């Protein structure tokens, strides 16, 4: 489902995949994030890190009448304060989407799928 806006110049449609790329870019710029992962578990409980073109697999966008609800699936770095990293992700994604789309973001739900040691 996409976002539709009517302006004096015509209609604008923004796909969920475009919103996912915006949100994924904001997540990957956040401190303590190793990467995004798919919401589906691979074999033996492992998760696949997603590349930029696949962010839509790790972001679920729900468009309601009141605004957007975003679900993010991430892997964080070992040794960071997970709750602080998640708070920063939520603030950054909310700000980025509200600024870019001029829509209200009701919730940014972050699901930490794993912790990875970076060498």
Q: What does the domain layout of the chain look like in residue ranges?
A: 3-116
- Cα gap 107→78, rounded to integer Å: 26
Report the mean per-residue pLDDT for the chain: 85
In sequence order, which residues have a C-beta less than 8 Å from that of residue 59 and are 6 or more positions away? 19, 20, 23, 24, 36, 70, 71, 72, 73
Percent pLDDT > 90 in the chain is: 43
Q: Which CATH superfamily is domain 3-116 in?
A: Cation efflux protein, cytoplasmic domain (3.30.70.1350)
CA distance 47 to 49: 7
pLDDT at 111: 93
**pLDDT, tens only, 29-81:** 889 988 888 766 554 455 666 665 566 678 899 988 899 999 999 989 999 99
What is the pLDDT at residue 44?
44
The burial of 46, by beta-carbon neighbours within 10 Å (0-12 exposed, 13-18 middle, 19 or more buried), is given as exposed
Helix (H, G, I), strand (E, B) or coil at 57: helix
Better pLDDT: 89 or 113: 89
pTM of the model: 0.83
Q: Is the pLDDT of residue 117 over 70?
A: yes
Q: Is the pLDDT of residue 23 over 70?
A: yes
């Amino acid at each position: 489902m996409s976002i539709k806006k009517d302006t004096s110049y015509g209609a604008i449609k923004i796909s969920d995949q475009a919103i996912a790329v915006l949100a994924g870019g904001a997540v990957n710029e956040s401190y303590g994030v190793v990467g995004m992962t798919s919401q589906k578990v691979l074999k033996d409980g492992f998760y696949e890190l997603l590349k930029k073109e696949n962010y839509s697999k790790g972001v679920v966008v729900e468009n309601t009448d009141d605004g957007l609800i975003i679900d993010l699936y991430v892997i964080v770095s070992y040794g960071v304060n997970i709750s602080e990293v998640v708070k920063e992700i939520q603030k950054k994604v909310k700000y980025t989407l509200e600024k870019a789309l001029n829509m209200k973001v009701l919730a940014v739900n972050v699901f930490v799928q794993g912790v990875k040691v970076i060498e």
